[in-house]
Amino acid sequence: MDDRLRETLSAMMDDEADELSVRRLLSHDRQDELRAQWQRWQDVRDLLHDGHSPAHGMDVSVAVREELDGRDSAALGATLAGRDSKARGWHWPAAAMVAMALLVGFGAGAGWDSSGTGPAQPLAAAAPEAPAPAPDQPVREVALQGLDEEQWEYMSRYLLEHAQHNSVGAGRGAVGYARLVSANGPGY
């Protein structure tokens, strides 16, 4: 179990974990290890609070997963829909196609799964104590999965334009290209 997962677990204990982190936690393949850690911390907490441990031996992951899925089944639907967008893009008129081809090429972002946003996860936990340059409140995170297809295309356009600025501005051709292509990649 890495530090990030441990941090998420810890955040969950404090009821401060964000949804993506929890999802990652639930999809971790060493569930037994996680459960053991969770259990230990619950036990410690209960000891500190001089109470018993009602959570002992309970597996809450299924319920949590259901809760998450129930709450944003629409978002998941959008992700699935996004996967078809590449094919659908071809029904557009030819004139619009040239202008929009790159967006379609982006696959409406369908390729990005939650893991793609992984490195940002510590944000929620780290923001409050970070030497925040300005407003102290953590930055609201917009999960990529939560965007519908139209929103995806909209955002993709900006990503694409930035990729072009970046490869020019930073003077590092190949990396700029790679960003573009990485964003372009379908969700295989």
Partner 1 sequence: MYQALIAVFRCRVLSVLMCLVLALAGSVPVLADDEASAWLKRLGPALNMTSYRGVFVYARGERVHSMQIAHRYIDGAVEERLVLQDGGTGEIVRKGMNVVCVLPETGRVQLNQVIPSGPFAEAFTSQLVPVNRWYQAEMKGEDRVAGYDVVSVALSAKDPYRYSHQLWLEKSTGLLVKSHVRNSEGDVLEQFQYTSLYIGEEIPDSEFEIRTQGREISRTLDETASTESVVQRMNGWQLGWRPEGFVPAAAPRSGKGQAVAFSDGLAAFSVFVEPAGPVTMPTGASLIGATTVYMRQVKEGENVFLVTVVGELPPQTARQVAESVRIEDSLALGAGGS
Tell which positions 74-113 bind partner 1, by CB under 8 A.
Answer: 86-87, 89, 98, 101-102, 104-105, 107, 111-113
d(Cα 157, Cα 30) in Å, to the nearest integer? 38
60 contacts partner 1 (rule: CB under 8 A): no
Separation of alpha carbons 11 and 179, rounded Å: 32
Among 44, 45, 43, 69, which Cα is nearest to 56's?
43
Cβ of residue 41: shortest distance to partner 1, in angstroms?
6
CB 1, min distance to partner 1, A: 13
Residues 6+ apart with CB under 8 A from 101: 89
The 10 Å Cβ neighbour count of residue 89 is 19
Q: How many of the chain's residues bind partner 1 (CB under 8 A)?
A: 83
Distance CA 174, CA 24 (A): 31
Provide the Cα torsion 129, 17, 107, 85; round to 10°.
Answer: -150
Q: Residue 173: CB partners within 8 Å, gap ≥ 6?
A: 167
Q: Please, which residue, 73 or 169, has the CB nearer to partner 1?
A: 169
Site string for partner 1, 2-41 (x = CB under 8 A): --x-xx--xx-xx-x------------------------x
Task: Determine the interface stretch with partner 1 among 28-36, 50-58, 60-68, 153-161 (rule: CB under 8 A).
Answer: 153-161
Does 58 sit near partner 1 (CB under 8 A)? no
Figure out which of the listed residues 5, 78, 108, 160 binds partner 1, where binding follows CB under 8 A: 160
**Residue 60 or 178 with smaller CB distance to partner 1:** 178
